[in-house]
Structure 1
Amino acid sequence: MTSSALTAPPALLTPEGAPAISDWSMTDGKIHLNHGSYGAVPVAAQQHQLELKEAMDANPCTWFMGQAATLATTRIGIAEFLHVPVEDMALVTNASAGVTAVYNSLPFTPGAEIVTTNHTYGAVLEGAQRIARKHSGRVRIAQVPLDADAALVVELVMAQVNPQTALIVIDQITSATARRFPVVEIAAAAKKLGVPVLVDGAHAPGVLADPVPDFEGFWVGNLHKFACAPRGTAALVARGPFRRHLTPLIDSWGFPYVFPESFDHVGTQDITSWMAAATAFETIERRFGWDNFRSYAASLGNYGQHIVQDAFSALTGEDAQANVGMPVDPLRLIRLPRGLATTHEDSHAVRALISDRFDFETAITTFDGVGYLRLSTHLYNTPADYEAFAERVVPELATLAREH
């Protein structure tokens, strides 16, 4: 399908008729096409968090003495947003913290192996390598092609499982390659073998109406990405027999309790981001609607992807389409011209160039030695954002690739 065959969706407006971005506080000097990395917090949630900080600093003794009870109440609203029982969910600062809590808690034996894929987020993979080294084991990495369908993913992942496998770590939505994985099917296959599964759902909240899959095991997800909570807000969900092993990253006064109550005791940690999260969820539902967000993200993602990849293809003669096996509506992958961002370090340099020279915030990723532009769409994005990128940035990147 070419961009000429697409119809741009109308840009979203607030109930008052202003551009949707007016509900956020991002600078006018940049066009923000990378919500997927760090999110963006609605002004209403920012203001609520500031009010909470003022209350905390007005009387720290009362605040922190009652913090565990406050956290128990806070978890209820977040669990409702995720559609999970509150007794299955603890709060952590980010998905990586949840992953690390699982790594540090499970009773690995000598020679234990962890199975994951070549799409795994770098920090999560490093944690797996650390645990494997600690127990004289190893990490087995399933090589999953970008265009693999669900059945092939399951086959390739489970082919790495053996009697030494102590944990499978699988992405729900991958970071570098913007694709889904069939986590429920993998968890079902692993359960038959008695192997626990950890699902990295960092990008799932907000993107999926029901972000936590129905399986026994562990799930972690960031609420400060597409769900727009203040940063440092994430959830750890645990079901099944292995949850009894879970302990918080920091030993505190939660030691008499078990998961999830043991995670409610966080000392002097500032929990206002967690407390203001429900304000972000409710604000978006009231002013735009979460279902409307997902519908808009799909249509705008489709339009923006084709506008940009067609511009690259026209200038370079190369096919800029990335054949993603299980694509994700708000995250779109576009193949960069040959020679750009072929290493992790180069991807950062290209991203910085686009930000500094052209005032676009983007995500540049690398997979199997190929550079990609990962576009994100959110409520505040408009068709004009992607049209401007195609007009102003694509020609310069094509030139840069020829000179590389």
Structure 2
Amino acid sequence: MTLAQRRLLLGVSGGIAAYKSCELVRRLRELGAHVRVVMTENATRFVTPTTFQALSGEPVRVSLWDESAEAAMGHIELARWAERVLIAPASADLMARLAQGHANDLLTTLCLATASPVYLAPAMNQQMWAHAATQANLATLRARGVHILGPAAGDQACGEVGSGRMLEPHELRAAIVASFGDQVLQGRKVVVSAGPTYEDIDPVRFIGNRSSGRMGFAVAEAAAQAGAQVTLVAGPVSLATPQGIARRVDVRSAAQMHAAVTAATADADIYIGAAAVGDYRPNSVAPQKLKKHDGAALALQLTENPDILAHLSAQRAHPFLVGFAAETQDVERYARDKLQRKGLDMIAANQVGEGLGFETADNAITLYWADGSAELPRADKALLARQLIERIADRYRAVRG
């Protein structure tokens, strides 16, 4: 793992998590990176520029009105110099200003002026992170190709518990290293399914599940970053298409997902089934909304949906197959049974339930294959997806060459 001679611009906005950025500079430099730091005025209330200067070995910029630097258009020079721009911490205010295209200080001006990838590591109170305005700004930034790292969930400096913690320095460093990493899936065609499926009962009701699609979308983005040509088959989710995806197919039901995946994998090298596909659907869909009748019970007759992974593995020639197993108990037993029963090359298993798996910003995975396993500890889903793709690429080369 190296960042030798890489040019990284670290932006620091105002927030108590700024103290972690000091260690981040040290960790980036350990791998040989050249690091220059730009701070907002509010950030200097938490950590002094002198501290970052000592750690980076470079002058620290704060003001857009630094006459000595701006005489030579220093903000443009910095924007061109950086191969990556990482803002850690990224406050709610900083994200709002970036989403609106503001350039009212040096850091936001640099973000508008750079052609290099921009990464944000959000850090804020959990209620601020959950606020509709912040989530709208997040969606806007993602749609523009800004990479979001985190946040993680846990104890916060304000005494509350929830999502909003900045990722740890080693996690951020790993994400930046991965962004420069080898294109381990270069030239490969990868199909990823993500999200839930919905099975209609009547025109207003359906059977579904709690999958948000975040993990599958993160896997699709990580595969694209690894050089793959990615087709994303998405269930009914409210997520923007990740950067670098070649094609997205939106579906609703399990039958629609089955058809879309079958078509997309006809010439694919790898299929990653991260979608939470419903096992059953109603035998028939009522043409009108079903009504209550004097407290009488409603009985639904269900029929089993087609099994996408089993269908693919039964074909003579099929892609490298990676399944997912979301379980509430006996995770390894159920995962290994599914691995063998469906003829998969690999399976990613995780425990789901309260605060785990579904509807969370992070996850933990255990990978199983015929003669081995690997633990991917709990982390932000984007970081976990990159680690997962690396493991899949390793196994793919070992099995398929």
Q: Fold-level match, TM-score > 0.5? A: no
TM-score of the two chains, using structure 2 as the length reference: 0.25
Rg larger in 1 or in 2? 2
RCO comparison, higher one (Cα < 8 Å, 6+): 1
Which structure: greater strand fraction? 2
